[in-house]
């Protein structure tokens, strides 16, 4: 990633080491083992294709960021129980189901460095196994017994679906505004981050103020995470990302880097973007030209600036919690989300 990324949230004078997920992974390692056991158990079925296809993605090297956020948020609140294990598994099933469906909608052929499930098993099976995982997630929510948890996670699932449909209707629409783009990613990505954090406050029986603080942390982190995703789609590489470079460009997705470059472009550049987004300019040479225009108009750096803004909002949202390993890990998770190249 060639754009300069400046660390956020670090105390003045602190060493500028590369942020990582190591602190949050170390914090929740034992809990995550329990979550993974639930995931492995609940993705089983008497229909062999279901665990085979689900395992293709679930065991494919994902960061497990969303369930880790549930676990770390529970640690932040000193929750001593185990209810959050099944709920973190439910969060991961929701996320995995959306990925399976996304890859079918987008016609993707690479995910986490492997062939996508739809390419290996076909679109019908991939959609249906995604449905199976959604159903498993709701079983886990019901088993928890909290109507509030059920409301938060089911509401997030509906919002994610709305966001995906909104993105689909905005596809190949070069006039998409930054406001609409932020609404789309707030729904399709940030809603699950927010819910994953908020449910920890419910199981820990904390008040609504704590719920809202964790919701704000997750929501702003999710927006920052997606902004970086949309930037690195143009400036990273396939080996680093684990998916095809320029997929958004070829799919006609109008992400923030494109919105910014189009807004500042000359008439000829705007004509290029209009042709590219409707699918008439999608060659490797066109992608290279698009990337050059993004750099020329500083669109990648401006997108990352927006990501840092939302990342700082995430950090500010948990400022009122006392210092702890969990709080430090959650802060570094934000820093990682912004500084990562994959």
Buried b (16+ CB within 10 A) or exposed e, 176-187: beeebbbbbbbb
Enumerate the H helices of the chain as residue ranges.
Answer: 22-42, 49-58, 65-76, 83-106, 117-121, 123-144, 147-170, 178-185, 191-203, 208-235, 238-241, 247-250, 256-263, 267-277, 284-296, 299-317, 325-339
pLDDT for res 17: 80
Do 329 and 72 touch, CB atoms closer than 8 A? yes
User: CB-based contacts of 147: which residues, under 8 Å, 6+ apart?
Assistant: none
- Contact between 196 and 218 under an 8 Å Cβ cutoff? The reply is yes
Quote the pLDDT of residue 61.
Answer: 63
Return averaged pLDDT per consecutive 10 residues of the chain, 342 residues in all. Answer: 41 63 96 95 95 87 89 98 98 96 86 84 95 97 97 97 94 94 97 98 98 98 96 75 73 94 96 94 92 95 96 98 98 95 68
Domain spans, the chain: 22-339
Distances (CA, A) of 224 to 130, 193, 219, 312, 339: 26, 11, 9, 9, 11
DSSP 315-335: HHHTTTSPP-HHHHHHHHHHH
Report the distance separating Cα 101 and Cα 322, nearest Å. Answer: 40
Of 219, 186, 214, nearest to 202 by C-alpha is: 214
Q: How far is CA 172 from the centre of its chain?
A: 22
Residue 324 half-sphere exposure toward CB, CA atoms < 13 A: 17
Q: Would you say the C-alpha torsion 67, 69, 75, 78 has a positive or negative sign?
A: negative
Residues 78 and 132 sit within 8 Å (Cβ to Cβ):
no
What is the predicted pLDDT for the residue at 13? 44
CATH T-level fold of 22-339: Farnesyl Diphosphate Synthase (1.10.600)
> Closest Cα partner for 93 from 146, 27, 160?
160
Reduce the DSSP state of residue 172 to 3 states and report it: coil
In sign, the C-alpha dihedral spanning 144, 39, 225, 190 is negative
Determine contact, residues 287/251, Cβ cutoff 8 Å.
no
Give the separation between CA 123 and CA 37, rounded to whole angstroms. Answer: 28
296-314 burial: b if 16+ Cβ within 10 Å, else e: ebebbbbbbebbbebbbbb
């Amino acid at each position: 990633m060639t754009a300069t990324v400046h660390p956020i949230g670090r105390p003045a004078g602190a060493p500028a080491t590369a942020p990582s997920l190591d602190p949050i992974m170390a914090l929740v390692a034992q809990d995550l083992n329990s979550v993974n056991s639930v995931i492995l158990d609940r993705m089983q079925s008497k229909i062999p294709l279901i665990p085979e296809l689900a395992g293709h993605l679930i065991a494919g090297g994902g960061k497990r960021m969303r369930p880790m956020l549930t676990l770390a948020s529970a640690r932040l609140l000193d929750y001593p129980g185990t209810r959050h294990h099944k709920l973190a598994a439910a969060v991961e099933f929701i996320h995995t189901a959306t990925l399976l469906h996304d890859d079918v909608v987008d016609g993707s052929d690479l995910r986490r460095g492997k062939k996508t499930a739809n390419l290996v098993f076909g679109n019908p099976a991939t959609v249906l196994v995604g449905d199976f995982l959604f159903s498993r997630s709701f079983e886990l929510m019901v088993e928890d017994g909290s109507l509030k948890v059920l409301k938060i996670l089911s509401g997030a699932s509906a919002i994610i679906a709305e966001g995906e449909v909104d993105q689909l209707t905005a596809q190949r629409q070069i006039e998409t505004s930054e406001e609409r783009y932020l609404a789309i990613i707030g729904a399709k990505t940030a809603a699950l981050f927010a819910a994953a954090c908020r449910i920890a406050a419910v199981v820990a029986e904390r008040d609504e103020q704590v719920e809202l603080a964790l919701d704000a942390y997750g929501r702003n982190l999710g927006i920052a995470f997606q902004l970086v995703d949309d930037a690195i789609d143009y400036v990273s590489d396939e080996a680093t990302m684990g998916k095809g470079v320029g997929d958004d460009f070829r799919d006609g997705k109008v992400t923030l880097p494109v919105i910014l470059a189009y807004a500042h472009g000359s008439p000829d550049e705007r004509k290029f973007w209009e042709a590219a987004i409707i699918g008439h300019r999608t060659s490797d040479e066109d992608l290279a030209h698009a990337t050059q225009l993004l750099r020329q108009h500083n669109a990648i750096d401006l997108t990352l600036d927006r990501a840092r803004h939302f990342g700082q909002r995430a950090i500010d949202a948990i400022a009122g919690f006392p210092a702890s390993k969990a709080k430090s890990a959650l802060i570094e998770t934000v820093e990682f989300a912004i500084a990562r190249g994959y």
